[in-house]
Amino acid sequence: MIERYTLPEMGQVWSDAHKYELWCRVETLVLEAHARAGTVPASAVGPVRSAPPPTPEAVAAIEAVTEHDVIAFLTAWADNTEPRSAAAYVHYGMTSSDLLDTALAVQLAEATDIIVTKADRLVAALRDHALAHRNTLRSGRTHGVHAEPDLWGHRVADFAFAAARSRDRVRRAREAVAVGKLSGPVGSYSNIDPAIEAEVMPALGLRAADAATQVVMRDGIAEWVSALAVLATVCEAVALEVRHGQRTEVRELAEPFRSGQKGSSSMPHKKNPIRSERICGLARVVRSYVTPVTEGIPLWHERDISHSSVERIALPDAAIATDYLVHLTTGLVEGLVVDAARMRANMDLTNGLLYSSGVLLELVSSGMSREDAYALVQAAAMDTWDNQTPFRDALLAQGKSRNMAIDELALDRAFDAERYVGRLGGVFDRVSRLT
């Protein structure tokens, strides 16, 4: 992921320097377990433990010759070990994927913890915003068209619950990826005792794979990327709502616009929803990694490396992009400008049409058949659409032309927007308990 979208903490998780630190940690824990078991000389442990991790530059220089990253790492680390002979027992009984998959599992767990912490803040921001607007009337929309009166807090509550569910999916996916293996070539423990794996995994905060070939099966990693994609897409849903609300014709919502910020190089009046658009764009990036990562589940026999090149790009990118867009979405919600007066004014744009459902039910309750009531209300609605006749007037005219009496008190009830406030108390009670 490019630096523009990489936050420091997540960037550190996926840095080459941190990767080699983890590789050193895994190899050292294995060496120590071997020494305790008497498999290798205990004298090898101290020098290896004291050897600093190799620099990415040192590993890259050797890999340019060997074309094998693990061998390059082991050689560069051996160069830092005094005496160098102690390094002979590093990687004892292991295969490359023992190191790669186990260290990757630690990285995935670390990345997940960062994302979940940020998602906690997002859920809290959405919860608080929903509660702050539990009485803010607005036009509910279906197909982009005014439907019925609604509450802005209700719309945001839906986002809050979706964000919480998505966060919990990511948290569960952590269990699926915090899995390592130290079982040697083809996973048969041919040159390493299963007791070594059982001892090292808890020290890394991992569990051992129930069974592994030369690699850990990729279904857990596919689950993890899929969970990130859902979280990213929920963030996109929030951002898309803001983008619509910030359109000039709507103007109910607006992203925060800082002093000194510029919206356009040519049009000084512009205040564009750039954060929301960036969130929507990056969500596409995260989703795009689901298929190639999932295709890493079927490999040839006990192992090939067709998954490896994909994961080197996809896993850091998915984590970094999700981390960034969750952070961006939280800031968007916390700074969101809501024009409650504009929301209320927009409800009147269609001359009362968004009360048609309530009118229909009032007429049915007064004794009119549903078919007659629907025909009357629809005819009045078409008059309002076509001629801008106030909907209430159009209803009374249709009733008169059809010799159908319409109770004006019933219309008063149907046209009372305030009756929508308070109907959603249960939703707001539930959202208030989100953590």
pLDDT of 121 over the 80 cut: yes
Give the tens place of pLDDT for each residue, 200-213: 999 999 999 999 99
Mean pLDDT, residues 46-66 taken together: 97
Mean pLDDT, residues 153-177 taken together: 98
Structural domain includes residue 225: yes
What local confidence, expressed as pLDDT, does residue 192 receive? Answer: 96
* Domain match, 288 and 248 both: yes
What local confidence, expressed as pLDDT, does residue 363 receive? Answer: 93
CA dihedral 130, 136, 142, 148 (to 10 degrees): 140
Secondary structure (DSSP) of 242-253:
HHHHTSTTT-SE
CATH of the domain at 78: 1.10.275.10
Catalytic residue set: 143, 264
Percent of the chain having pLDDT more than 90?
A: 88
What local confidence, expressed as pLDDT, does residue 410 receive? Answer: 87
Q: How confident is the model at residue 299 (pLDDT cuts 50, 70, 90)?
A: very high
CATH of the domain at 340: 1.20.200.10
Structural domain includes residue 431: no
What is the count of structural domains for the chain? 3
Structural domain includes residue 296: yes
Query: Residue 265: how many CB atoms within 10 A of its CB?
Result: 7
Structural domain includes residue 422: no
Structural domain includes residue 14: no
Mean pLDDT, residues 370-384 taken together: 95
* Domain match, 214 and 326 both: yes
- The mean pLDDT value of the chain amounts to 94
Give the tens place of pLDDT for each residue, 216-274: 999 999 999 999 999 999 999 999 999 999 999 999 999 986 766 655 555 566 578 89
pLDDT of 417 over the 90 cut: no
* Domain match, 139 and 251 both: yes
Q: What is the pTM of this model?
A: 0.92
Mean pLDDT, residues 390-414 taken together: 90
* Domain match, 135 and 45 both: no
Q: Which amino acid is at 190?
A: S
Cα–Cα dist 151/332, whole Å? 19
* Domain match, 307 and 375 both: no
* Domain match, 329 and 184 both: yes
Q: Name the burial class of residue 44, with classes exposed (0-12), middle (13-18) and buried (19+) by CB atoms within 10 angstroms of its CB.
A: buried
* Domain match, 46 and 114 both: no
DSSP 356: H
Q: Whole domain around residue 403: which residue ranges?
A: 353-414
pLDDT of 166 over the 70 cut: yes
Percent of the chain having pLDDT more than 70?
A: 97
What local confidence, expressed as pLDDT, does residue 403 receive? Answer: 87
Structural domain includes residue 286: yes
Mean pLDDT, residues 296-308 taken together: 92
* Domain match, 153 and 111 both: yes
Give phi and psi for 331, each to the nearest 5.
Answer: -60, -35
Per-residue tokens: 378: 């629809």
* Domain match, 165 and 210 both: yes
Q: From residue 393, how far is each of 191, 221, 383, 399, 409 by CA, in Å?
A: 88, 61, 10, 10, 14
Structural domain includes residue 428: no
